[in-house]
Amino acid sequence: MEKDDEDEKLSWSCWFRTMFACSGAMMLFVFTGVTEAQSAVLLPQLKERDSTIHTTLEEETWIASLGILLSPVSGVIVGPTIDAIGRKKGLLFFFINMGLGFGIIACATKLWHLYVGRCICSFAVGMEVAAIVYLAETCTKKQRSMLLSMVAASFTTGCSITYVVGGYLPWNIASAIFALCCFLYFLVQLLAPESPAWLYKQGRIDASTRSLQKLGRSPEGIARELEMLRLSSKEQSEKFQLKVLLEPTVWKPFIILCTYHFLQCATGVFQILYYTLDFIDRLGTSYNPLRVSIIISIVRVIANSTLGIYATAYVGRKPATVTSGILMTISFLGAGAYEYIYRTTPVGHRPCEWVPIVLLIVNIVGGILGVCILPWLMSGEVFPLRVRGSMSGAVFVVGSAIMFVSVKIYAAAMEVLAMWGMLFVYAAASFLAVLLGAFFLPETQNKTLYEIERGFLPRDRRDSRVQATERSEIENAERTV
């Protein structure tokens, strides 16, 4: 009977409805990838002699880094906002905001127009928090792992679209296409249901039930999920106070994820993404940077659609991070050694020029297994329901701020450390990520959000917080949800 209930809950209808509901959140990551990769193809076009807008090196770094500048600001706002007005409205605002930003870039005739457009797009990127929380709260335990595993593929798909569309079409036409797509998907998102967990938190039990019905849950499954929401909310029904932030279920995951974000940026993930063509050119090979970047983007999509989905859906967060960090460490050390040994050899005279390109591809594939995506995904899994939106936003703010600094200092750091020095720094950060994954990162794979939350409590408090009868109810519900 239990198996029949499970089959009914996860029937094709349930999967189809959940996929449709979550498609807006997935498209958010596609457009985030477009935004974050846009500078890689935009800047080379601005350097062309017949460009209508000309830039200096300093202005180029601003165009690139402005793609993330305001995301910490929106990250601060979006957490409390989606806790107050709902996850769905946060996604709707994203599409309007992102479409407006691309539209301004498409119509740009002066440098400051590009600045404004990039800033508006970066503000929209901060709405990413709404997508993570929406995915985590809309899916069942099994669906959550599968759909979250597709986030990286969605992001890299956006990057690949940028390299192809933005690389071969004029930047203004490409931006106009992106703007139109954003506005069209706003209409699709209107049809998606609101998060059942958020509705329940607001006391709208009937609306939460209807939302679960729209997601294709069976009557038995709806009853179980409502019971889980009741038990989860019971401990958090008192009025919010600042002392809640001192709870280990809040500050522990916050510190761990902020550290993860710092190490992620220190591995050069976003510097390579934002300056792909320049980075490949600095490797000192005779290969065409645009063609190599397109090949890399294709590899990203394939790897994310295969290895990335497998690692996120079926491999634990800890082993995924450790494996990812090890591959990144080895590849960065190899590329750094190559660049150091042949640092004085002219381009075209270096032996085996394919070596750094291959190692870069290995590094990107390794990053896809964990380091590149898990810091963003896990924020929707590790915080209690009452502060999930706010604390996910806080983590996003910290991660985005670190990301902005890393992108902004790329040119200066490259001048000081040279390519081989940067690669060795990336390798050191990758090794530290291995240690983080092995000893500090919580395991969230195949666990309910309630189980994950209680894992941060001291052992003596895990049992004292709920009565034995409620624990039995929770365990029975979790086995079938």
Q: What is the pLDDT of residue 166?
A: 81
- What would the mean pLDDT of 254-269 be, rounded to a whole number? 95
Q: How much is the mean pLDDT over the chain?
A: 85
2-480 is a CATH 1.20.1250.20 domain: yes
- What would the mean pLDDT of 408-434 be, rounded to a whole number? 94
Instruction: Give the least confident one: 196-200, 214-218, 470-474.
Output: 470-474
Residues 6+ apart with CB under 8 A from 39: 63, 64, 67, 118, 274, 275
Is the dihedral angle over the CA atoms 79, 85, 91, 97 positive or is it negative? negative
- What would the mean pLDDT of 116-138 be, rounded to a whole number? 88
- All structural domains of the chain with their residue ranges: 2-480
- What would the mean pLDDT of 413-437 be, rounded to a whole number? 95
- What would the mean pLDDT of 382-405 be, rounded to a whole number? 84
- What would the mean pLDDT of 406-423 be, rounded to a whole number? 92
Per the structure block, which two tokens stand in for 47? 């350097």
pTM above 0.85, yes or no: no
Region of 458 (left: φ > 0; alpha: ψ -120 to 50; beta: rest) is beta
Region of 442 (left: φ > 0; alpha: ψ -120 to 50; beta: rest) is beta
For 40-59, the pLDDT digits (tens) are 888 888 888 888 898 888 88
DSSP code, position 247: S
On the question of pLDDT at 227 being above 60, the answer is yes
Band the pLDDT of 463: cuts 50, 70, 90: low
Of 421, 397, 413, 446, the C-alpha closest to 146 is: 446
CA distances from 180 to 33, 73, 110, 176, 452 (A): 16, 25, 22, 6, 40
Band the pLDDT of 136: cuts 50, 70, 90: confident
On the question of pLDDT at 7 being above 70, the answer is no
Band the pLDDT of 461: cuts 50, 70, 90: low
Cα distance between residue 188 and residue 116, in whole Å: 27
For 228-241, the pLDDT digits (tens) are 777 766 655 555 56
Q: What is the pLDDT of residue 232?
A: 67
Q: What is the pLDDT of residue 462?
A: 59
On the question of pLDDT at 476 being above 80, the answer is no
Rg (CA), the chain: 23
